[in-house]
Amino acid sequence: MATQLDKTNLLNAYRTMKQIREFEERVHVEFATGDIPGFVHLYAGEEAVATGVCMHLNQRDKIASTHRGHGHCIAKGVDIDAMMAEIYGKRTGSCGGKGGSMHIADISKGMMGANGIVGAGPPLICGAALAAKFKGDQGVGVAFFGDGASNQGTTFESLNLSMVWKLPVLFGAENNGYAESTGVKFNVPTANISDRAAGFGMPGITVDGNDFFAVYEAAGEAIKRARAGGGPTLLECKTNRFFGHFEGDAMTYRAKGEVKDLRERCDALKIFSTQVTSRGLLSQEEMTTIDSEVKAAIDKAVALAKAAPNPTAADLLTDVYIAY
């Protein structure tokens, strides 16, 4: 493991994961002050999944995200200042303040949108992959979805359609153990979500989603196969959610001490740090430097977002149609 990534890539992987963590921890704090409107769902704890998958993607490749979409945005290269401004609902946000946390997107980066509808992404990414196939540009599409969305008909239909049309798709199941407040043991009758791939004649694999290298390697193989015309893969990453379903969720459905224990034992950043330092691939100092750079960048993003202007009244009526 790990050997195929050079130092620059390892540093990039760490930086991306750290950016996601810091971004989410900070949004958690700022949300509690009442400055951030609406519904916010945080990705902290799942950083290795978005990072391990998106490191294989280029600008041409597309991702469809979920309501828990900040991590996917950051991993796909969306500008952090524009993201934070969007979450604050400001005019300078990546969607001009009209999308917010649940619909954050940057089409120019191949990030086709967070989505307020559970299970809406897989059909859309089949279309993105179909477009790539027609263009012949070797592009791939990745649909991230949770254990909750794994039960949606749209997901099953998309697994089927992607096989029927042999589409270059990676279905990235992020199994964080909870569909809102309902445990995966209640929701999913198979041991693994990836077991369902067999029903569609599709390769299915489950990895430790808190282990960046496990995700990176499995995703790499699936994406390589997709680019070569070998069709879709269902990759399940078993991971953990450090915050509630939404900000404000008291999480009474979780065991006492569960999150604290997960943060100690299953933290993707800690696991990564141990792996790379024990093998002498990166030093702690190198990562500490990144930590302070990331913290400064998030501080700046929050300051800019708070100072940014709101949309104007005229903005209410624009962007419904291109021409009407």
Partner 1 sequence: MARKLSFKDAINEAIAQEMERDQSVIVMGEDNVGGAGSPGEMDAWGGVLGVTKGLYPKFGERVMDTPISESAFIGAAIGAASCGMRPIAELMFVDFMGVCFDQIYNQAAKFRYMFGGKAETPVVIRTMIGGGFRAAAQHSQCLYPIFTHIPGLKCVIPSGPYEAKGLLIQAIRDNDPVIFFEHKAMYALKAEVPEEPYALPFGEAKLLRSGEQVTIVAFGLMVQRALQAAEALANNGIDCEVVDPRTTSPLDETTILQSVAKTGRLVVVDEAYPRCGMAADISALVAQKGFESLQAPVIMVTPPHVPPPFNGALEDLYMPDSARIEAAVQSIVK
**Which residues contact partner 1 by CB under 8 A?**
62, 64, 93-99, 103, 105-108, 112-113, 115-117, 120, 122-128, 130-132, 134-135, 141, 153-154, 157-158, 160-161, 164-165, 318-324
DSSP 268-309: HHHHHHHHHHHTTSS-HHHHHHHHHHHHHHHHHHHHHHHHSP
Nearest-approach distance from CB 58 to partner 1, in angstroms: 14
| Closest CB to partner 1 among residues 160, 275 | 160
Nearest-approach distance from CB 270 to partner 1, in angstroms: 35
Helices 121-135 and 153-164 meet at what angle, rounded to 10? 20
| Closest CB to partner 1 among residues 95, 302 | 95
| Closest CB to partner 1 among residues 191, 322 | 322
Contact between 26 and 298 under an 8 Å Cβ cutoff? The reply is: yes
Nearest-approach distance from CB 41 to partner 1, in angstroms: 16
| Residue 45, strand partner residues | none
Nearest-approach distance from CB 39 to partner 1, in angstroms: 14
| Closest CB to partner 1 among residues 102, 262 | 102
What is the DSSP secondary structure assignment for residue 310, as one 8-state letter?
P
Helix or strand run (H / E) with residue 135: helix 121-135
What six digits make up the tokens of 28?
């958690």
Contact between 43 and 93 under an 8 Å Cβ cutoff? The reply is: no
Nearest-approach distance from CB 130 to partner 1, in angstroms: 5
Q: Strands across the sheet with 169-175, in order? A: 62-64, 141-146, 169-175, 233-238, 204-208
Nearest-approach distance from CB 202 to partner 1, in angstroms: 14
